[in-house]
Every structure is written in structure tokens, then in C-alpha cells.
Amino acid sequence: MHQNSPANADDLLVVVTSLPNLEAATALARALVEAHLAACVQISEGLYSVYRWEGKVCEEQEVLLSAKTIPHRWDEICAFIKESHPYKLPEILAFSPKQYEQQYGEWVQAEVNSKP
């Protein structure tokens, strides 16, 4: 399966996924930080999703997870989320901010480049 990889290795990457509950989101967030795949993970409750799955319209309460990392860790973090995720087909999106505060960016780089 081909995955689109972000281009510039010096940029930051925000990886987003949704999970069924706070417990699943917290477990995944901790695992990503402990594995040095993300420097920081934010969890937002109160997400309500409406989607079509296997021909049926579904509505679910979900929790949004937003992980700060760097582009050259994309393949690893994507595979890690797919392995750890309770959904059969998890949403995994990545966004590269055009601008970010330099010291914050350096901290994210240092955290995900350090070895566990």
C-alpha cells in the first residue's frame, strides 16, 4: 500500500486520528510518546462523527488525538497507529504547519530524534 509522505524533513508534522473513548486515546498517546514517535499528543473529547461504513450511516461519540512529530517518522507513526488502533480502518491524517515557533519545533525534533 502506498502512503503519501510529507516532503521536508525539517518541518513539523501533526498526525490526527480519532478513537472510540478517552481510555483508548490516552493509551495510544502514552505509547506514541514513550516510543519517541511523538513529542506531544493532545487529546480532545466531545467529537461527534457521522460517516458511512459498509453501506450504513453511523453516528458515534469519539475522541480526537493530535500527535506532534516530524515527517521522517511518518511511516513509523502511521504503522504504529494502525497496529494499535481498535478500528478496522482508522483515520490517520497528517498536516504540516507552514509556520511554527522555532524553539517549539526544535523541541519536537529533539524529542522524536532521541532514542528510547
Tell me the pLDDT tens digit for each residue of 51-98.
Answer: 999 999 999 999 999 999 999 999 999 999 999 999 999 999 999 999
Give the separation between CA 103 and CA 51, rounded to whole angstroms: 38
Tell me the pLDDT tens digit for each residue of 91-113.
Answer: 999 999 999 999 999 999 999 99
pLDDT (mean) for 13-40? 97
Q: Does 101 map to a domain? A: yes
Say if pTM beats, i.e. exceeds, 0.95.
Answer: no
Grid cell, residue 40, equals 506531544
Q: Does 1 map to a domain? A: no
Q: Tell me what pLDDT residue 4 has.
A: 43
CATH number at residue 87: 3.30.70.120
The partner residues of 42 in beta bridges, in order of sequence, read 66
Contact, 70 vs 13, CB < 8 A?
yes
Give the separation between CA 34 and CA 5, rounded to whole angstroms: 23
Q: Does 72 map to a domain? A: yes
In residues, how long is the chain? 116
